[in-house]
């Protein structure tokens, strides 16, 4: 399994509050290359499909409503050990438990509106990247 890329979404709260630029700067400073990027507004059907694993959980309906409330920025990011390193960079799901200096600690406003998504495994990074990007929209092999 290719472990050199991960998939991320800058969530609606962060896009709306003009945090896309600061978050992308942090991502680049942490050594990630941007291989693919698009701003898009998810439909309810798309958000439900993307978060299918959480169906039935108490936070699911609110999460779908939030993720469709405004545009998001989807990203494919590369670096060594990308999935694990990116999860470290974003911090815990609950921002009150996230370490200082992490993206969620800095930009999240609640557990739900926690600013950013990052894939939790290389397998899911492959699936999630395919959900948003065709092969023609990906630019791997940039110099690190």
Q: Is 85 in the site for ligand IDP (CB under 6 A)?
A: no
117 catalytic, yes or no? yes
- As beta bridge partners, residue 116 has 10
Query: Which CB, 123 or 144, lies closer to ligand IDP?
Result: 123
Nearest Cα residue to 12 out of 90, 97, 95, 71: 71
Dig out the tokens for 36 from the structure: 């693919």
CB of 44 to ligand IDP, least distance (A): 16
Dig out the tokens for 115 from the structure: 């600013």
Binding residue for ligand IDP, selected from 2, 40, 93, 96, defined by CB under 6 A:
93
CB of 59 to Mg ion, least distance (A): 12
Nearest Cα residue to 2 out of 127, 133, 117, 134: 127
Q: Is 112 in the site for ligand IDP (CB under 6 A)?
A: yes
How many residues make up the chain in this entry?
A: 144
**Residue holding tokens 């990052």?**
118
Q: Considering only the stretches 22-30, 37-45, 113-121, 134-142, report the one whose residues sit in contact with ligand IDP under the rule CB under 6 A.
A: 113-121
Binding residue for ligand IDP, selected from 85, 111, 126, 137, defined by CB under 6 A:
111
Q: Is 14 in the site for ligand IDP (CB under 6 A)?
A: no
Buried b (16+ CB within 10 A) or exposed e, 13-42: bbbeeebbeebbebbeeeebbebbbeeeeb
Which residues in the 115-144 window bind Mg ion by CB under 5 A? Answer: 120
Q: Which residues bind Mg ion (CB under 5 A)?
A: 120
Which residues are designated catalytic?
A: 117
């Amino acid at each position: 399994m290719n472990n050199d890329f991960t998939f991320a979404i800058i969530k609606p709260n962060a896009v709306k509050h003009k945090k896309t630029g600061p978050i992308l700067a942090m991502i680049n400073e942490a050594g990630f290359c941007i291989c693919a990027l698009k701003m898009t507004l998810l439909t309810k059907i798309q958000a439900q499909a993307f978060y299918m694993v959480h169906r039935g959980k108490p936070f699911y309906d609110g999460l779908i409503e939030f993720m469709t409330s405004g545009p998001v920025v989807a990203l494919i990011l590369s670096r060594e050990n990308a999935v694990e390193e990116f999860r470290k960079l974003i911090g815990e799901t609950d921002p009150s438990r996230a370490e200082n200096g992490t993206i969620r600690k800095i930009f999240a406003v609640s557990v739900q509106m926690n600013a950013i998504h990052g894939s939790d495994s290389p397998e899911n990074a492959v699936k999630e990247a395919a959900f948003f990007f065709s092969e023609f929209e990906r630019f791997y092999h940039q110099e690190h």
